[in-house]
Amino acid sequence: MKVEEFADIAFAAKSMPSFGYGCAVFMQSDIVNFQRQGWRSEEILAGLADVLPKNVFLYVASIPNLAALGTRFVLQGGTQNNLAVVKAEVDFIKSSFRANGKEPEIIVHEHCGESGAIGAAQEALRLWRNGRETTVIGLEAVANIRYHTTRNEDTRCYFCKNNCLRTFIDVDVTGGQSPEHNHTLDAADRVATEEEIAEVVSNLPSLEQIHANLPPLESQGSCSTGVGHSSPSIFKAKVEPLVQIQLAPGSNKVVELPKPAEFQARKTKVPLRMGEQRLIIATCEKGTVEDLDEMKDIKADIDKVKVVNPNYVDIAARDVFRHHDVEVVSDAIPATRGLFISKATKERASQMERRRDFRVGIPRLLNTYTYAPFFNGYFASLGLKSENIIYSDYTTPELYRAGASRGAIDPCYPSKIGIAHVYNLLATKHVKKPLHAIWFPMYDVLHSHLVNLTGSNACPTVTATPETVKAAFTKESDIFSENNILYMDPILNLQDEKICADQMFKAWGPVLGVTREENERAIAVGFKSLHECEAEIRRQARETLDQLEREDRIGIVMLGRVYHHDPGLNHEIMEEFQKLGYPVFSQSTLPLDEDLLDRLFGEEVRAGLITHPLDISDVWKNRYSTSTNHKVWAAKFTARHPNLVALEVSSFKCGHDAPIYGVIEGIIEQSGTPYFSFKDLDENKPTGSIRIRVETIDYFLQRYREDIIKRRHIESNIETQLAVFEQTLRSQPRERYEMAVAGY
Ligand code: SF4
Ligand code: SF4
């Protein structure tokens, strides 16, 4: 079938199968299934056309409510030549307007195949008018580009442990006219054909014939290289490359052999010809060069940009796990020698002795990204050594793959990695040096900085994950007891310190010989560590925010959940933005200083719309889920701050994010703040598409910033002019001043 016939065939269908939108790979298997079920080709084509707008608007662009965009739609791109697709798009767009009763205007661009290029040309023109110069080499030169690609073991990058395979594209922009390729031949000469070379080679004289024909020793000779020599010995002839051969003995007709390739002097496993330029397609910037020193320069440049544009998502992800010196509040170990020492005292003494070498493993996931400072403080204050409080590694595809096979259920990705993290503790940390316990509490109630909430609960999936993980490691045999490891997953309320103290005491009292009083002191140290860690990152974030305001720059707020700080969950998207010069904040790191909150929310508080700057009751009624509440409040903060834009992230199969997509988008867009999203993130890291989207967003933000600066400039001009005008009026007699103010 020709693609031009698609629409005609699809329109012949009387019914069609319903494709699920999403990844094209799944669609391919859907096609096979539908064929097996007996659907005819025209029906399958109709179904494919029908799903396309869903894929574009819901899957790729994530815009469930098209009516929110306006009423005028232009369909562009070569796909619009397929009328079956156009019909599906028109039906889809119209269906979005059913609720509001409006009729959208839908136009197919009259040059839909070229409209993208027209748009690019218009943008180039705009930039040129703004003083930018083009680097385009011109269409004629483009037609002359010659290139060849190499992707094999010789192109592998060894600058980090990822050892990525790269693609080298060696480009000759001269169209074969570079000095290397450009040796012109005399009219009589030409490059020999393969047959001619073969014929000449087969007729080459034998060594005896050569000897017989050699000139006397004292005479001058010449060889086919054209280089004369007067060697006293025939065995000392100079070796030169053969560049031409006579077609027959005695003939003066010669043919040229292809010139041996000349290569550039550079350190590489893939030699680069003279006149060519190498482009390297790599996973990261460092991999775009081959030379170690060049890579170091690139890294140094990136590091410089990173220092002035902090990424608080990444900083928070590292800082919470850092150990700090805390006050040790444990009791002295009771004496066990002497008379009248009770059994309980002896037992406690031995449990306390254990603390010195007790090794506890903690999976690095979920709300541990908030509560690690609390656990670090608690354990260290009881006398555990910091090197014995061991977290699993950060999430990576390798970590996930190594341990994921035990899972029996398929929850959201942040929960699914639970098994892999516990496996990492068992298979890596425990093997290195034995662990005594794995601490994976069931987070139930969480602390929050917000007010006027209806609850402060963790997502039920978060709460239940430690139990599902436990099941995975005990369903056939108890892997924990086989390894002499205590698996501890008590429920925790981290909002109420007293309840928390009781829960921690019940968990750790019998293991480490902790008394209630000792436990309370350790709880206090834990919460102090937690609050200090949170305050410090917010203090730093405030400095960066102030700097953005001073410099009229843009920062990005990641609207996610605290475990989206995990680089393995956020796929390091934030780092890509940081490298482009955007500081990145998150829902948990935004500053809470009173003056700032008053500037952003003060008017609404005074108008009685909210009770407090940290109140979200105006936008979100079901305020019981802590991480959802924090995300909603961060959206409000971002919407009100002129230097911030929103970047929403969510995980695949998250049941809590779907209901608030519209709320978050609504809050942000109501203020005219740019909103972007990376939704349904899972174990697959689509590096290429992430890069493209990041670059597109960056381009948009550059224009957004230009507009902000222009607007501020205009506003400040108007204010200056008004001030001058007011001054002029005030200097005039009162009557005229009053008339002018009254508008006469
Ligand atoms: S391309 Fe980047 S990520 Fe890949 S090995 Fe090289 S430095 Fe590491
Ligand atoms: S909030 Fe969503 S992503 Fe987080 S644990 Fe619950 S379901 Fe999973």
Domain of 687, CATH number, reads 3.40.50
Is 586 a member of any domain? Answer: yes
If one residue of 162, 167, 168 were mutated to test the ligand 1 pocket, choosing by the most ligand atoms within 8 A of its CB, it would be 162
Is 465 a member of any domain? Answer: yes
Is 279 a member of any domain? Answer: yes
Q: What is the pLDDT of residue 141?
A: 83
Ligand closest to Cα of 366 equals 2
What's the half-sphere exposure (Cβ side, CA atoms, 13 Å) at 91? 12
Q: What is the pLDDT of residue 258?
A: 67
Same domain? 386 vs 477? yes
Domain end point (choices 129, 164, 187): 129
Same domain? 663 vs 681? yes
Same domain? 404 vs 544? no
**Ligand 2 atom index nearest CA of 462:** 5
Which residues form the domain of 289? 142-179+263-308
Same domain? 427 vs 498? yes
Question: Using a 6 Å cutoff on CB, does residue 280 contact ligand 1?
Answer: no
**Ligand 2 atom index nearest CA of 459:** 6
Phi/psi for 95 (5° steps) reads: -65, -25
Instruction: Using the mean position of ligand 1's atoms as its centre, give its distance from the Cα of residue 271 in Å.
Output: 21
Question: Using a 6 Å cutoff on CB, does residue 283 contact ligand 1?
Answer: yes
Is 318 a member of any domain? Answer: yes
Is 202 a member of any domain? Answer: no
Question: Using a 6 Å cutoff on CB, does residue 159 contact ligand 1?
Answer: yes
Same domain? 414 vs 368? yes
Is 740 a member of any domain? Answer: no
Positions of the chain with pLDDT under 50: 180, 182-189, 218-236
Number of domains in the chain: 4
Same domain? 688 vs 565? yes
Same domain? 147 vs 274? yes
Same domain? 509 vs 568? no
Instruction: Using the mean position of ligand 1's atoms as its centre, give its distance from the Cα of residue 147 in Å.
Output: 24
Question: Using a 6 Å cutoff on CB, does residue 620 contact ligand 1?
Answer: no
Is 421 a member of any domain? Answer: yes
Is 350 a member of any domain? Answer: yes
Same domain? 49 vs 83? yes
User: Rg of the chain's alpha carbons, rounded to an integer?
Assistant: 36
Edge to edge, the sheet with strand 584-586 lists 584-586, 555-559, 644-651, 675-681
Beta strands in 127-185 (DSSP E): 146-150, 167-172
Q: How many CB atoms lie within 10 A of CB 66?
A: 20
Question: Using a 6 Å cutoff on CB, does residue 164 contact ligand 1?
Answer: yes
Instruction: Using the mean position of ligand 2's atoms as its centre, give its distance from the Cα of residue 13 in Å.
Output: 42
Q: What is the pLDDT of residue 184?
A: 42
Same domain? 160 vs 301? yes
Contact assessment for residue 91 and residue 51, using Cβ atoms and an 8 Å cutoff: no
Q: What is the pLDDT of residue 222?
A: 41
**Ligand 1 atom index nearest CA of 288:** 1
Same domain? 282 vs 340? no
If one residue of 412, 468, 565, 682 were mutated to test the ligand 2 pocket, choosing by the most ligand atoms within 8 A of its CB, it would be 412
CA 166 to chain centre: 19
Protein residue closest via CA to atom 1 of ligand 1: 287
If one residue of 442, 465, 657 were mutated to test the ligand 2 pocket, choosing by the most ligand atoms within 8 A of its CB, it would be 657
Q: What is the pLDDT of residue 230?
A: 44
**Ligand 1 atom index nearest CA of 284:** 2
Name the 3-class secondary structure at 105: strand
Domain end point (choices 534, 555, 584): 534
Distance (Å, whole) CA 553 – CA 72: 32
Residue with tokens 């662009």: 61
Same domain? 544 vs 670? yes
Distance (Å, whole) CA 629 – CA 638: 14
- Give the Cα-Cα-Cα angle 58, 63, 68 (nearest 5 degrees): 145
Domain end point (choices 276, 308, 340): 308
